[in-house]
């Protein structure tokens, strides 16, 4: 009997799972469901607008979605349009691939002041996520503090300091490009609570900061150790040595070389956001690293700023109908198995770390588990059942052909050299579809 599988979430974890299932079971039918009308999750809303090449994985995902055994149900919120329990009644297997779309909190006094934003919100804003487009941050400041030293911190810093020319061939939406590029920002401080050796950013991303048109990286030579010490894999050691080499080159750059600067500040842990209603500065405690952990030294300093972006990692929220581990911020799972016929992949399974490709093995594991657990079973209604239920509730959905029409409209509207001009209002998505339906 044909196995029906619903995948909730159309980001990389969802698509790699669909891909693996198609290969592992020549019969199964797969429906990929997303609460937004657009597929691809973090590829569309997380990857930086100036990293178009990283988004090339969308082409492979589009091929997967175009397979006759796969359907896309966009604009269907599991939890609102129908419950997870209802979905489990309709499908032999349900895979949760909902990611970690929310901001982790800093957990320090003052973080609710105006001018303090989480990186997920900030990145979603400049990437035209429909839920965030109206959350324009206050960019009227010369100084920005970014807390964290991961790749998201680097993305945010780069997008804030790149020139209009550097961002011209990107899909940065006009409503974000305007305020960012007219902002009086001259200094961005990226502050890490540990040292350069412990920083999470990867070397390609770090090196990019040395090649910006109007911005020079700054780092204190005294913060850079002579060598990478301690136990680690040869691969990790290579990355860290390369990062040190890059940072050493940055340490030789002059502050006046360019009108803007990104300062890499190490060994500083945020203790309080200062100011009145609006942030005016961040207070830090100097740290030293002991056994890999940041330990406070009791010495404090402040960095004045008008905007704080907390780039301290993403957070998953509980999924109604699935057990949740609040400590680790993941759905309770045993190597991906959550309950009978229920599985988890990607960040909701293992937390918000790793790059896009890290989701591939998750997808392969889930596909194998589904086949091992359900074998040739099946028999639940799958797609026909979902469509009947949505129709009965008067719920319209966006299928993959609909999405391709939206995508074609975005490409047609792109400025010269840019890949697309993203749509972000529900009414604009629906208008494209209505126009096409009327024309066709
Ligand atoms: P991340 O790599 O985990 O970095 C989080 C940063 O926040 C770390 O520097 C961490 O310091 C710091 N931090 C956490 N809690 C803190 C606190 N309370 N106070 C001060 N600092 C704190 O997370 P991310 O940057 O959000 O990235 C998520 C994943 O996406 C990563 O795997 C990343 O590589 C990936 N990604 C990749 C790319 C790319 O390949 N270009 C782009 C974007 C994202 P500690 O290390 O001390 O904990």
Question: Distance from first CA to last CA of the chain, Å, rounded?
Answer: 37
Atom of ligand 1 nearest to the CA of 353: 32
Do 52 and 78 lie in one domain? The reply is: yes
Q: Is the pLDDT of residue 254 over 90?
A: yes
Model pLDDT for residues 354-411, shown as the tens digit of each residue: 999 999 999 999 999 999 999 867 789 999 999 999 999 999 999 999 999 999 999 9
User: Mean pLDDT across the chain, nearest whole number?
Assistant: 96
Do 147 and 289 lie in one domain? The reply is: yes
Do 38 and 131 lie in one domain? The reply is: no
Residue 328 located in a structural domain: yes
Q: Please state, for a pLDDT cut of 90, what percent of the chain lies above it.
A: 94
**Dihedral (C-alpha) 194, 197, 198, 201: value to the nearest 10 degrees?**
110
Do 295 and 344 lie in one domain? The reply is: no
Residue 152 Cβ inside 6 Å of ligand 1? The answer reads yes
Atom of ligand 1 nearest to the CA of 46: 43
Do 277 and 177 lie in one domain? The reply is: yes
State the CATH number of the domain containing residue 25: 3.40.50.720
Global pTM reads 0.96
Closest CA to 102 of 124, 83, 80, 86: 124
Apex 395 CA angle, 33 and 436, nearest 5: 85
Residue 354 Cβ inside 6 Å of ligand 1? The answer reads yes
Residue nearest to atom 10 of ligand 1 (CA): 148
Residue 150 Cβ inside 6 Å of ligand 1? The answer reads yes
Helix axes 400-412, 57-66, angle to 10 degrees: 140
- The domain boundary, picked from 258, 288, 314, lies at 314
- Give the residue-averaged pLDDT of 208-217: 98
Cα of 149 to ligand 1 centre, how many Å?
A: 6
Instruction: Please report the pLDDT score of residue 435 as a whole number.
Output: 82
Top mutation candidate among 43, 191, 200 for ligand 1, by most atoms within 8 Å of CB? 200
Residue 183 located in a structural domain: yes
Residue 66 Cβ inside 6 Å of ligand 1? The answer reads no
Residue 90 located in a structural domain: yes
Model pLDDT for residues 138-196, shown as the tens digit of each residue: 999 999 999 999 999 999 999 999 999 999 999 999 999 999 999 999 999 999 999 99
Top mutation candidate among 49, 120, 152 for ligand 1, by most atoms within 8 Å of CB? 152
Cα of 152 to ligand 1 centre, how many Å?
A: 6
- Give the residue-averaged pLDDT of 30-53: 97
Do 115 and 215 lie in one domain? The reply is: yes
- Give the residue-averaged pLDDT of 32-42: 97
Do 149 and 240 lie in one domain? The reply is: yes
Do 261 and 371 lie in one domain? The reply is: no
Top mutation candidate among 148, 201, 272 for ligand 1, by most atoms within 8 Å of CB? 148
Q: Which residues pair with 326 in a beta bridge?
A: none
Do 70 and 204 lie in one domain? The reply is: no
Residue 415 located in a structural domain: no
- Give the residue-averaged pLDDT of 11-20: 98
- Give the residue-averaged pLDDT of 328-340: 97
Instruction: Please report the pLDDT score of residue 440 as a whole number.
Output: 65
State the CATH number of the domain containing residue 236: 3.50.50.60
pLDDT band, very low/low/confident/very high, at 426 (cuts 50, 70, 90): confident
More confident residue, 18 or 2: 18
Instruction: Please report the pLDDT score of residue 356 as a whole number.
Output: 95
Do 324 and 307 lie in one domain? The reply is: no
**Dihedral (C-alpha) 13, 14, 15, 18: value to the nearest 10 degrees?**
120
Residue 429 located in a structural domain: no
Residue 205 Cβ inside 6 Å of ligand 1? The answer reads yes
Q: What's the structural domain count of the chain?
A: 2
Do 124 and 182 lie in one domain? The reply is: yes
Do 142 and 253 lie in one domain? The reply is: yes
Helix axes 359-374, 12-24, angle to 10 degrees: 50
Q: Report d(CA 229, CA 240) in Å as an integer.
A: 10
Residue nearest to atom 33 of ligand 1 (CA): 151
Residue nearest to atom 16 of ligand 1 (CA): 312
Top mutation candidate among 51, 151, 243 for ligand 1, by most atoms within 8 Å of CB? 151
Residue 422 located in a structural domain: no
Residue 437 located in a structural domain: no
Ramachandran bin of 145, using left for φ above 0, alpha for ψ from -120 to 50, beta for the remaining angles:
beta
Q: Domain range for residue 212?
A: 107-314
Cα of 373 to ligand 1 centre, how many Å?
A: 35
């Amino acid at each position: 009997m044909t196995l029906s599988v619903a995948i909730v979430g159309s980001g990389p974890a969802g698509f790699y799972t669909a891909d693996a299932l198609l290969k592992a079971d020549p019969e199964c039918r797969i429906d990929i469901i997303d609460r937004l009308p657009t597929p691809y999750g973090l590829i569309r809303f997380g990857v930086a607008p100036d990293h178009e090449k990283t988004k090339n994985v969308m082409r492979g995902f589009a091929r997967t979605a175009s397979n006759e055994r796969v359907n896309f149900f966009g604009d269907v919120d599991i939890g609102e349009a129908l419950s997870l329990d209802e979905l489990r009644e309709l499908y032999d297997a349900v895979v949760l691939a909902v990611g970690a779309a929310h901001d982790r909190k800093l957990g320090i006094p003052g973080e609710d002041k105006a001018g303090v934003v989480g990186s997920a919100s900030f990145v979603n804003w400049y990437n035209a996520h429909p839920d965030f487009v109206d959350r324009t941050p206050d960019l009227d400041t010369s100084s920005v503090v970014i807390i964290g030293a991961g790749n998201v911190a680097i993305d945010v810093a780069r997008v804030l300091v790149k020139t209009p020319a550097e961002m011209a061939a990107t899909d940065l939406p006009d409503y974000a490009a305007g305020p960012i590029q007219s902002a009086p920002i001259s200094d961005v401080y990226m502050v890490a609570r540990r040292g350069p050796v412990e920083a999470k950013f990867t070397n390609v991303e770090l090196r990019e900061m040395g090649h910006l048109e109007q911005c020079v990286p700054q780092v204190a030579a005294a913060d850079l150790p002579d060598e990478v010490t301690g136990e680690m894999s040869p691969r990790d050691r290579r990355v860290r040595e390369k990062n040190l080499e890059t940072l050493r080159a940055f340490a030789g750059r002059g502050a006046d070389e360019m009108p803007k600067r990104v300062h890499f500040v190490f060994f500083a842990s945020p203790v309080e956001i200062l100011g009145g209603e609006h942030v005016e500065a961040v207070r830090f405690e100097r740290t030293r690293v002991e056994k890999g952990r940041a330990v406070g030294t009791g010495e404090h300093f402040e960095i004045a700023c008008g905007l704080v972006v907390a780039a301290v990692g993403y957070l998953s929220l509980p999924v109604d109908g699935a057990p949740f581990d609040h400590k680790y911020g993941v759905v309770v799972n045993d190597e991906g198995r959550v309950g009978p016929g229920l599985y988890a992949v990607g960040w909701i399974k293992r937390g918000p770390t790793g790059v896009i490709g890290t989701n591939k093995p998750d997808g392969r594991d889930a596909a194998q588990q589904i086949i091992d657990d359900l074998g040739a079973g099946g028999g639940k209604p799958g797609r026909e059942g979902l469509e009947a239920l949505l129709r009965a509730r008067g719920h319209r959905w966006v299928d993959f052909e609909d999405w391709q029409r939206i995508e074609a409209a975005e490409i047609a509207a792109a400025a010269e050299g840019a890949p697309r001009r993203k749509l972000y209002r529900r009414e604009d998505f629906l208008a494209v579809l209505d126009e096409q339906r009327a024309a066709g």
